[in-house]
Amino acid sequence: MVRAHNFNAGPSALPLDVLKKAQEELIDFKGTGMSVMELSHRSKEFEDVLADAKDRLKKLMEIPDTHEILFLQGGASLQFSMLPMNFLQEGKVGAYVVTGSWSKKALKEAQNFGETVVVASTEDDSFTHIPEVSVNTLPENTGYLHITTNNTIYGTQWQDFPNFGDVPVFADMSSDILSKKVDVSKFAVIYGGAQKNLGPSGVTIVILRKDLLNQQNSGLPTMLDYTTHIKANSLFNTPPTFGIYMLSLVLEWVEQNGGVEGIQKRNEEKAALLYDLMDEFPEFYTPHARKDSRSLMNVTFTMPNEELTKDFLQKAKAEGFIGLNGHRSIGGCRASIYNAVPIETCQALAQFMKSYREAHLQSVK
Protein backbone atom coordinates (compact mmCIF):
# COMPACT_ATOMS: atom_id res chain seq x y z
CA MET A 1 0.00 0.00 0.00
CA VAL A 2 0.97 3.65 -0.42
CA ARG A 3 0.80 5.63 2.83
CA ALA A 4 -1.08 8.93 2.62
CA HIS A 5 0.59 12.24 3.35
CA ASN A 6 -1.40 12.67 6.57
CA PHE A 7 -1.85 16.23 7.83
CA ASN A 8 -4.96 15.53 9.93
CA ALA A 9 -5.28 17.76 12.99
CA GLY A 10 -6.22 14.93 15.35
CA PRO A 11 -6.52 12.03 15.48
CA SER A 12 -3.38 12.37 13.47
CA ALA A 13 -0.42 10.51 12.02
CA LEU A 14 1.18 7.71 14.01
CA PRO A 15 4.73 6.43 13.41
CA LEU A 16 4.74 3.61 10.88
CA ASP A 17 7.16 1.62 13.06
CA VAL A 18 4.69 1.83 15.93
CA LEU A 19 1.80 0.63 13.77
CA LYS A 20 3.88 -2.30 12.53
CA LYS A 21 4.86 -3.34 16.05
CA ALA A 22 1.25 -3.10 17.22
CA GLN A 23 0.24 -5.19 14.22
CA GLU A 24 2.78 -7.87 15.10
CA GLU A 25 1.57 -8.04 18.72
CA LEU A 26 -2.13 -7.54 18.06
CA ILE A 27 -3.26 -11.16 18.31
CA ASP A 28 -0.70 -12.53 20.76
CA PHE A 29 0.74 -10.00 23.21
CA LYS A 30 4.01 -11.25 24.68
CA GLY A 31 2.99 -14.90 24.57
CA THR A 32 -0.25 -14.45 26.52
CA GLY A 33 -2.38 -15.90 23.74
CA MET A 34 -4.47 -12.72 23.95
CA SER A 35 -4.48 -9.31 22.34
CA VAL A 36 -3.50 -6.46 24.64
CA MET A 37 -7.11 -5.34 24.15
CA GLU A 38 -8.25 -8.58 25.80
CA LEU A 39 -6.02 -8.38 28.87
CA SER A 40 -7.51 -7.62 32.26
CA HIS A 41 -6.46 -4.19 33.43
CA ARG A 42 -5.71 -5.89 36.78
CA SER A 43 -3.31 -8.38 35.20
CA LYS A 44 0.44 -8.22 35.71
CA GLU A 45 0.89 -7.98 31.94
CA PHE A 46 -1.13 -4.78 31.74
CA GLU A 47 0.37 -3.38 34.93
CA ASP A 48 3.73 -3.74 33.20
CA VAL A 49 2.40 -1.83 30.17
CA LEU A 50 1.14 0.97 32.42
CA ALA A 51 4.41 1.14 34.39
CA ASP A 52 6.39 1.21 31.14
CA ALA A 53 4.33 4.11 29.78
CA LYS A 54 4.76 6.13 33.00
CA ASP A 55 8.47 5.43 33.19
CA ARG A 56 9.14 6.39 29.58
CA LEU A 57 7.10 9.61 29.84
CA LYS A 58 8.84 10.55 33.10
CA LYS A 59 12.30 10.07 31.58
CA LEU A 60 11.56 11.75 28.24
CA MET A 61 9.96 14.84 29.78
CA GLU A 62 12.28 14.83 32.83
CA ILE A 63 9.24 14.94 35.11
CA PRO A 64 10.41 15.58 38.69
CA ASP A 65 9.32 13.46 41.65
CA THR A 66 7.18 16.40 42.81
CA HIS A 67 4.64 15.52 40.08
CA GLU A 68 2.21 12.65 39.57
CA ILE A 69 1.45 11.13 36.15
CA LEU A 70 -2.14 10.09 35.41
CA PHE A 71 -3.74 8.40 32.42
CA LEU A 72 -7.39 9.45 32.39
CA GLN A 73 -10.31 9.61 29.98
CA GLY A 74 -12.65 12.36 28.80
CA GLY A 75 -10.09 14.28 26.75
CA ALA A 76 -8.70 17.71 27.51
CA SER A 77 -12.30 18.94 27.40
CA LEU A 78 -13.07 17.17 30.69
CA GLN A 79 -10.00 18.80 32.26
CA PHE A 80 -11.52 22.20 31.42
CA SER A 81 -14.09 21.42 34.14
CA MET A 82 -12.12 19.09 36.38
CA LEU A 83 -9.31 21.56 37.10
CA PRO A 84 -11.47 24.44 38.42
CA MET A 85 -13.77 21.95 40.16
CA ASN A 86 -10.78 20.70 42.15
CA PHE A 87 -8.68 23.84 42.55
CA LEU A 88 -10.67 27.07 42.06
CA GLN A 89 -11.27 28.11 45.66
CA GLU A 90 -13.63 30.67 47.10
CA GLY A 91 -11.99 34.10 47.27
CA LYS A 92 -9.56 33.23 44.47
CA VAL A 93 -9.84 33.79 40.72
CA GLY A 94 -8.90 31.55 37.85
CA ALA A 95 -6.80 33.65 35.46
CA TYR A 96 -7.00 32.74 31.77
CA VAL A 97 -4.93 33.71 28.74
CA VAL A 98 -7.25 33.46 25.73
CA THR A 99 -5.35 32.60 22.57
CA GLY A 100 -7.91 30.61 20.58
CA SER A 101 -11.01 28.44 20.58
CA TRP A 102 -9.76 25.87 23.09
CA SER A 103 -8.72 28.41 25.72
CA LYS A 104 -12.13 30.08 25.33
CA LYS A 105 -13.78 26.71 25.99
CA ALA A 106 -11.60 26.16 29.06
CA LEU A 107 -12.60 29.61 30.37
CA LYS A 108 -16.30 28.93 29.76
CA GLU A 109 -16.20 25.75 31.83
CA ALA A 110 -14.29 27.40 34.68
CA GLN A 111 -16.97 30.08 34.95
CA ASN A 112 -19.33 27.36 36.19
CA PHE A 113 -17.23 26.85 39.32
CA GLY A 114 -16.08 30.27 40.50
CA GLU A 115 -14.67 33.64 39.64
CA THR A 116 -12.51 33.97 36.54
CA VAL A 117 -10.65 36.74 34.76
CA VAL A 118 -9.13 37.09 31.29
CA VAL A 119 -5.66 38.53 31.88
CA ALA A 120 -4.70 38.64 28.19
CA SER A 121 -6.38 37.89 24.87
CA THR A 122 -5.58 38.26 21.18
CA GLU A 123 -9.15 37.70 19.99
CA ASP A 124 -9.41 41.26 18.68
CA ASP A 125 -6.45 40.49 16.43
CA SER A 126 -7.96 37.22 15.14
CA PHE A 127 -5.63 35.21 17.40
CA THR A 128 -2.60 35.89 15.21
CA HIS A 129 -0.10 35.87 18.08
CA ILE A 130 0.60 35.01 21.72
CA PRO A 131 0.13 38.03 24.02
CA GLU A 132 2.72 39.25 26.49
CA VAL A 133 1.90 38.13 30.01
CA SER A 134 3.85 38.50 33.25
CA VAL A 135 3.27 37.93 36.93
CA ASN A 136 2.44 41.66 37.16
CA THR A 137 -0.51 41.06 34.82
CA LEU A 138 -2.20 38.81 37.36
CA PRO A 139 -4.63 39.88 40.12
CA GLU A 140 -3.34 39.53 43.69
CA ASN A 141 -5.92 36.84 44.45
CA THR A 142 -5.06 34.66 41.47
CA GLY A 143 -5.61 31.00 42.37
CA TYR A 144 -4.06 29.70 39.18
CA LEU A 145 -3.14 30.78 35.65
CA HIS A 146 -4.38 28.71 32.70
CA ILE A 147 -2.72 28.77 29.27
CA THR A 148 -3.04 26.79 26.05
CA THR A 149 0.48 26.27 24.76
CA ASN A 150 -0.37 25.60 21.10
CA ASN A 151 -3.43 26.69 19.17
CA THR A 152 -4.32 24.18 16.50
CA ILE A 153 -6.93 26.26 14.70
CA TYR A 154 -4.93 29.48 14.40
CA GLY A 155 -1.41 28.07 14.23
CA THR A 156 0.15 29.95 17.14
CA GLN A 157 2.38 28.60 19.90
CA TRP A 158 4.02 29.89 23.08
CA GLN A 159 7.73 30.15 22.30
CA ASP A 160 8.80 30.34 25.95
CA PHE A 161 7.16 30.55 29.35
CA PRO A 162 7.64 33.48 31.75
CA ASN A 163 8.21 32.95 35.44
CA PHE A 164 4.91 33.49 37.24
CA GLY A 165 6.35 33.20 40.72
CA ASP A 166 4.26 31.19 43.17
CA VAL A 167 1.14 31.22 40.99
CA PRO A 168 0.28 27.65 39.88
CA VAL A 169 0.32 27.42 36.08
CA PHE A 170 -2.06 24.99 34.37
CA ALA A 171 -1.13 24.24 30.76
CA ASP A 172 -3.19 22.54 28.10
CA MET A 173 -0.46 20.97 25.95
CA SER A 174 -2.76 18.72 23.94
CA SER A 175 -1.26 19.65 20.59
CA ASP A 176 2.42 20.18 21.35
CA ILE A 177 3.31 17.92 24.27
CA LEU A 178 6.63 16.13 23.66
CA SER A 179 7.30 18.25 20.55
CA LYS A 180 10.02 20.31 22.23
CA LYS A 181 11.91 20.59 25.50
CA VAL A 182 9.80 21.95 28.37
CA ASP A 183 10.77 22.56 31.99
CA VAL A 184 7.99 20.63 33.72
CA SER A 185 8.88 22.14 37.10
CA LYS A 186 7.47 25.48 35.88
CA PHE A 187 3.97 23.99 35.76
CA ALA A 188 1.56 22.87 38.45
CA VAL A 189 -0.47 20.93 35.88
CA ILE A 190 0.23 19.82 32.32
CA TYR A 191 -2.55 18.00 30.53
CA GLY A 192 -3.51 16.92 27.05
CA GLY A 193 -5.26 14.41 24.87
CA ALA A 194 -2.95 11.81 23.36
CA GLN A 195 -4.32 11.94 19.82
CA LYS A 196 -1.83 14.37 18.31
CA ASN A 197 1.67 13.51 19.54
CA LEU A 198 1.30 10.60 21.96
CA GLY A 199 -0.93 7.97 20.40
CA PRO A 200 -4.52 7.27 19.38
CA SER A 201 -7.51 9.07 20.83
CA GLY A 202 -8.95 7.93 24.15
CA VAL A 203 -6.14 8.66 26.63
CA THR A 204 -5.72 11.94 28.51
CA ILE A 205 -2.35 12.68 30.12
CA VAL A 206 -2.34 14.68 33.35
CA ILE A 207 0.94 15.65 35.03
CA LEU A 208 0.04 17.16 38.39
CA ARG A 209 2.20 18.68 41.12
CA LYS A 210 1.49 16.81 44.33
CA ASP A 211 1.32 19.83 46.63
CA LEU A 212 -1.78 21.06 44.79
CA LEU A 213 -3.75 18.41 46.62
CA ASN A 214 -3.27 20.44 49.82
CA GLN A 215 -5.57 23.13 48.39
CA GLN A 216 -8.13 20.83 46.82
CA ASN A 217 -11.84 21.58 47.14
CA SER A 218 -14.01 19.14 49.08
CA GLY A 219 -17.25 17.40 48.15
CA LEU A 220 -16.04 16.30 44.73
CA PRO A 221 -17.63 13.50 42.70
CA THR A 222 -15.41 10.43 43.06
CA MET A 223 -14.51 10.14 39.38
CA LEU A 224 -13.72 13.86 39.11
CA ASP A 225 -11.39 13.92 42.11
CA TYR A 226 -7.69 13.72 41.19
CA THR A 227 -6.95 12.01 44.52
CA THR A 228 -9.11 9.07 43.43
CA HIS A 229 -6.93 8.40 40.41
CA ILE A 230 -3.61 9.06 42.14
CA LYS A 231 -4.40 6.55 44.90
CA ALA A 232 -5.53 3.97 42.33
CA ASN A 233 -2.55 4.50 39.97
CA SER A 234 -4.97 5.44 37.14
CA LEU A 235 -6.78 2.11 37.65
CA PHE A 236 -9.81 3.19 39.69
CA ASN A 237 -12.02 2.10 36.80
CA THR A 238 -11.17 0.31 33.55
CA PRO A 239 -8.66 2.52 31.72
CA PRO A 240 -8.24 2.80 27.92
CA THR A 241 -5.86 -0.17 27.88
CA PHE A 242 -5.10 -0.26 24.16
CA GLY A 243 -4.53 3.49 24.06
CA ILE A 244 -2.03 3.31 26.93
CA TYR A 245 -0.25 0.43 25.20
CA MET A 246 -0.01 2.46 21.97
CA LEU A 247 1.20 5.49 23.92
CA SER A 248 3.99 3.36 25.38
CA LEU A 249 5.03 2.29 21.87
CA VAL A 250 5.05 5.92 20.68
CA LEU A 251 7.26 6.90 23.63
CA GLU A 252 9.63 4.07 22.76
CA TRP A 253 9.75 5.42 19.18
CA VAL A 254 10.61 8.90 20.51
CA GLU A 255 13.49 7.40 22.49
CA GLN A 256 14.77 5.66 19.37
CA ASN A 257 14.65 8.91 17.41
CA GLY A 258 16.84 11.06 19.62
CA GLY A 259 14.47 11.75 22.47
CA VAL A 260 12.68 15.08 22.80
CA GLU A 261 15.76 16.95 21.54
CA GLY A 262 15.86 14.89 18.36
CA ILE A 263 12.12 15.29 17.81
CA GLN A 264 12.33 19.06 18.35
CA LYS A 265 15.14 19.41 15.81
CA ARG A 266 13.16 17.50 13.23
CA ASN A 267 10.00 19.51 13.97
CA GLU A 268 11.89 22.75 13.44
CA GLU A 269 13.20 21.48 10.11
CA LYS A 270 9.72 20.40 8.97
CA ALA A 271 8.13 23.71 9.89
CA ALA A 272 10.90 25.69 8.18
CA LEU A 273 10.20 23.93 4.88
CA LEU A 274 6.67 25.35 4.83
CA TYR A 275 7.20 28.72 6.48
CA ASP A 276 10.21 29.54 4.28
CA LEU A 277 8.12 28.89 1.17
CA MET A 278 5.28 31.04 2.49
CA ASP A 279 7.69 33.84 3.32
CA GLU A 280 9.00 33.62 -0.25
CA PHE A 281 5.49 33.89 -1.73
CA PRO A 282 3.40 35.71 0.93
CA GLU A 283 1.00 37.13 -1.63
CA PHE A 284 -0.01 33.58 -2.61
CA TYR A 285 0.39 31.66 0.66
CA THR A 286 -0.30 34.08 3.49
CA PRO A 287 0.52 32.82 7.02
CA HIS A 288 -2.12 33.45 9.65
CA ALA A 289 0.29 33.62 12.59
CA ARG A 290 2.81 36.34 13.26
CA LYS A 291 6.44 35.24 12.88
CA ASP A 292 7.11 35.51 16.61
CA SER A 293 4.24 33.15 17.44
CA ARG A 294 4.31 30.56 14.66
CA SER A 295 3.50 27.00 15.63
CA LEU A 296 5.79 24.07 14.91
CA MET A 297 2.73 21.82 14.93
CA ASN A 298 0.02 23.57 12.90
CA VAL A 299 0.97 25.65 9.87
CA THR A 300 -2.03 27.79 8.90
CA PHE A 301 -2.33 29.95 5.80
CA THR A 302 -4.79 31.53 3.41
CA MET A 303 -4.75 31.93 -0.36
CA PRO A 304 -5.84 34.84 -2.58
CA ASN A 305 -9.50 33.78 -2.81
CA GLU A 306 -11.99 31.04 -1.93
CA GLU A 307 -12.10 29.57 -5.43
CA LEU A 308 -8.33 29.12 -5.53
CA THR A 309 -8.32 27.59 -2.04
CA LYS A 310 -10.93 25.05 -3.06
CA ASP A 311 -9.01 24.12 -6.20
CA PHE A 312 -5.74 23.82 -4.24
CA LEU A 313 -7.33 21.50 -1.68
CA GLN A 314 -8.94 19.32 -4.35
CA LYS A 315 -5.71 18.93 -6.30
CA ALA A 316 -3.72 18.30 -3.11
CA LYS A 317 -6.11 15.53 -2.07
CA ALA A 318 -5.82 13.94 -5.50
CA GLU A 319 -2.05 13.83 -4.98
CA GLY A 320 -2.41 12.06 -1.62
CA PHE A 321 -2.23 15.06 0.74
CA ILE A 322 -4.92 14.48 3.38
CA GLY A 323 -6.30 16.86 6.01
CA LEU A 324 -5.14 20.23 4.63
CA ASN A 325 -8.49 21.98 5.05
CA GLY A 326 -8.45 24.76 7.59
CA HIS A 327 -10.73 24.43 10.60
CA ARG A 328 -14.40 24.88 9.71
CA SER A 329 -14.58 28.00 11.90
CA ILE A 330 -12.00 30.02 9.94
CA GLY A 331 -11.43 28.24 6.61
CA GLY A 332 -8.19 28.54 4.67
CA CYS A 333 -5.59 25.78 4.86
CA ARG A 334 -3.78 24.02 7.67
CA ALA A 335 -0.94 21.50 7.67
CA SER A 336 -0.70 19.71 11.01
CA ILE A 337 2.85 18.41 11.18
CA TYR A 338 2.94 16.60 14.51
CA ASN A 339 5.87 14.49 15.68
CA ALA A 340 5.02 11.42 13.61
CA VAL A 341 4.66 13.28 10.29
CA PRO A 342 7.83 12.39 8.33
CA ILE A 343 10.03 15.15 7.01
CA GLU A 344 9.60 13.61 3.55
CA THR A 345 5.88 14.36 3.76
CA CYS A 346 6.62 18.03 4.48
CA GLN A 347 9.14 18.13 1.64
CA ALA A 348 6.52 16.70 -0.71
CA LEU A 349 3.95 19.30 0.40
CA ALA A 350 6.39 22.18 -0.03
CA GLN A 351 7.18 20.98 -3.56
CA PHE A 352 3.48 20.61 -4.37
CA MET A 353 2.77 24.14 -3.10
CA LYS A 354 5.58 25.55 -5.20
CA SER A 355 4.47 23.67 -8.32
CA TYR A 356 0.82 24.62 -7.79
CA ARG A 357 1.69 28.31 -7.61
CA GLU A 358 3.82 28.13 -10.75
CA ALA A 359 1.08 26.30 -12.67
CA HIS A 360 -1.52 28.83 -11.57
CA LEU A 361 0.60 31.80 -12.63
CA GLN A 362 1.17 30.19 -16.02
CA SER A 363 -2.56 29.59 -16.48
CA VAL A 364 -3.51 33.25 -15.89
CA LYS A 365 -0.88 34.74 -18.21
| CATH number, position 64 | 3.40.640.10
pLDDT of 4 strictly over 80: yes
140: pLDDT strictly greater than 80: yes
What pLDDT sits at residue 192?
98
Residues catalogued as catalytic: 102, 172, 196
Residue type at position 250: V
Say if residue 183 is in the same domain as residue 248. Answer: yes
DSSP characters for 267-331?
A: HHHHHHHHHHHHHHSTTTSEESS-GGGB-SSEEEEE-S-HHHHHHHHHHHHHTTEES-BPPTTT-
Q: Which residues are annotated as a binding site for pyridoxal 5'-phosphate?
A: 76-77, 102, 152, 172, 195, 237-238
Mean pLDDT calculated for residue range 320-346 = 96
Domain containing 295 — which CATH number?
3.90.1150.10
Same domain, 233 and 88: yes
Collapsing DSSP to helix, strand or coil, 261 comes out as helix
Residue 114 has pLDDT above 90, yes or no: yes
Same domain, 185 and 54: yes
In a domain, 10, yes or no: no
- Looking at the fold, whether 175 and 297 belong to one and the same domain comes out as no
Domain boundary among 222, 257, 292: 257
Same domain membership, residue 213 and residue 82: yes
Residue 267 lies in a domain: yes
Mean pLDDT of 291-307: 97
Mean pLDDT for the chain overall? 97
Does 227 lie in the same domain as 122?
yes
Task: Mention every residue, 6+ apart, whose C-beta is less than 8 A from residue 304.
Answer: 283, 284
Residues 144 and 179 in one domain: yes
Residues 218 and 79 in one domain: yes
Verify that 248 and 266 share a domain, yes or no: no
Residue 58: CB atoms within 10 Å: 17
Same domain, 167 and 307: no
Query: From the annotation, which residues make up the binding site for L-glutamate?
Result: 42
Please state the residue numbers annotated as binding site. 42, 76-77, 102, 152, 172, 195, 237-238
One domain for residues 242 and 265? no
Give yes or no: residues 34 and 133 share one domain. yes
What are the pLDDT digits (tens) for 27-44? 999 999 999 999 999 999
The reply to whether 8 falls in a domain is: no
pLDDT-derived band at 1 (thresholds 50, 70, 90) equals: confident
Quick count: other Cβ atoms within 10 Å of Cβ 364? 5
Taking only the tens place, the pLDDT of each residue in 187-221 is 999 999 999 999 999 999 999 999 999 999 999 99
* Domain C-terminal end among 212, 233, 257: 257
Q: How many domains does the chain have?
A: 2
Q: What is the span of the domain harbouring residue 199?
A: 16-257
